[in-house]
Amino acid sequence: MFRKLLLLLLLNGNVFIIQAQTMTALVASGKPARKYNSKLSLQDCIEIAWANNLQIKQSQLQLETGIVNLNQAKANRLPTVNATVNQGFNSGRSIDPYTNAFVDQQITSNNFGINSSFTIFSGYQLQNGIRQSQLNLEAARLDIHASRDQIALNITLAFLQVLSNQDLLDVSLTQRELTGIQIVKAEQLVQNGIIPYKNVLDLKAQLSDDELNIVNAGINLKSAKLSLSQLMNLNDDEELLLERIEAVETPSANPDIVSKDIFSLAKEIRPEVKAAEMRIKSAEISREIAKGSKYPVVTLNFGLGTQYSSAAPGERFVKDGSVTYIEKPSDDAYVLTNGVKSPVYIKQAIEGGEMQKFKYFDQLGTNFNRGIVLNIKIPIFNGYSARNRIAKSVIEKKQAECQAENVKQQLRQNIEQAYNNYNASLQKVSALENQVRSLEEAFRVAEYSFNLGKISSVDYNLAKTQLDKARYNRIQAKYERVFRLKILSFYQNKNTDF
């Protein structure tokens, strides 16, 4: 049984080519050397590629950005708190910050404040912003899954390519060995006079062709291993050692599955489809956010502040809580007796205290103030900004819907092509199995006849070349069938382990 590998190699053993665009996107350089002492399975290679691929790392950074954006969207509901500190210098006629009176002198002033603002209502823009950030974050996660799946397919292709070229090299080595054995037999037949010496020369020429096939197969194998190492983003000096996988006999499939089952299932489970649908929902919320800008914005503002002015007096009277009463004549009250005004004495309270220096921090404590303000901002006309934002969000939604349809269309076409390729590979393997059996029998007869001297070396080499060609093609077809089945299983989210 042949181990699994893939894709059409040309008759001379050339490797199938991984698309250059995919290679450019996935191959990176400059990784430190790492040694793998044991053989790597297909899953090992996939996991190494996932860990080293720069495209996935960039997607993960975008995911982290999405997490930050979501946290910020949630934090936007919290109040803002800011502190302010001002240092001022005025000269000439100005307002004294301490007395609010006009003065004509140089004034140095300081202002300190703490302000807080809390949004009570903003047309549900904050809530919708959180919902949109959640959808964008989930879409970023799905993008990573889609990238990982694509890398897994590319690694599988390259992995099977290595195994296929290894099998082709093994076949080439076997063919050289068989040709060498036949040369020995032919030389004995020449000595016995059964065949002419020309037949030996023809076989030696065939041996040279076999040697060339071995060289080409070795080059192709090395190139395939290099491609796999590059996809895994490795920079190893030693050769990759891969675990062999046995070919799996696969039954034929029902063509109706493509339209009725595989695509219907794939569009429900594939991450690229889900990500596109998430972006449609995100665009819908963008429209709701744009509509929210037409609503009033209600905010509650708090403030604490104090100030210092150099124009304030350097001293002030500070009460000590004591009170002294004195009697003094009233200015306007008197008693008229016999035409004589006698003053009326009244008691006047005199608060006790003393003059103290009015220092910097004393001013700050005296001037402390606080306030609370309910602010309602009603949009009336803002240069049609709200209307244009709504129109733009409608266009963005249509773009997202178009992109989602394009993703689904591409998925459907890929599934149809994959299924057609799989059916073709089944038919090809079946035809090549029959061809190899027929050519093996034909070669057996040709070899027997050649040993008896009944046919020429030309006829013998023709039979051998046809058999070698059929065997090469059978190896390629079997690995191609394995990969085609892998793709179909991938779209159905089935277990694709070999």
Within a domain: residue 329? no
Inside any domain, residue 101: no
Q: Is residue 55 part of a domain?
A: yes
Compute the average pLDDT of residues 353-368.
81
Residue 4 counted as domain residue: no
Q: What confidence tens digit (pLDDT) does each residue in 261-317 have?
A: 888 888 899 999 999 999 999 999 999 999 999 999 999 999 999 988 887 777 777
Residue 358 lies in a domain: no
Tell me which residue of 380, 376, 378 sits closest to 301, measured CA to CA: 376
The b-or-e profile of 102-130 (16+ CB within 10 A means b, else e) is ebeeebebbbbeeeeeebeebbebbbbbb
Give the pLDDT band (50/70/90) at residue 21: very low
48: which 2 tokens? Answer: 């190494």
Average pLDDT of the segment spanning 98-125:
87
Tens digit of each residue's pLDDT (9 = 90 or more) over 74-91: 999 999 999 999 988 877
> What total of structural domains would you count in the chain?
1
Classify residue 463: in a domain, yes or no: yes
pLDDT at residue 98 in the model:
67
Does residue 101 contact residue 107 with C-beta atoms inside 8 Å?
A: no
Residue ranges making up the domain that contains 280: 20-26+35-75+125-297+386-491
Instruction: Report pLDDT for 459.
Output: 87
In angstroms, what is the C-alpha Rg of the chain?
A: 45
CATH number at residue 409: 1.20.1600.10
What is the phi/psi pair of residue 376, to 5°?
-120, 120
Q: Centre a 10 Å sphere on the Cβ of residue 461 and count the other Cβ atoms it contains.
A: 20
**Residue 394: inside a domain:** yes
pLDDT band at 340 (very low <50, low <70, confident <90, very high): confident
Q: Given this model, what pLDDT does residue 10 score?
A: 28
Q: Determine, yes or no, domain membership for 45.
A: yes
pLDDT at 3 over 80: no
Quick one: pLDDT band at residue 323, thresholds 50, 70, 90? confident
Alpha-carbon distance of 279 to 398, in angstroms, equals 11
| pLDDT digit string, tens, across residues 428-455 | 989 999 999 999 999 899 888 888 888 8
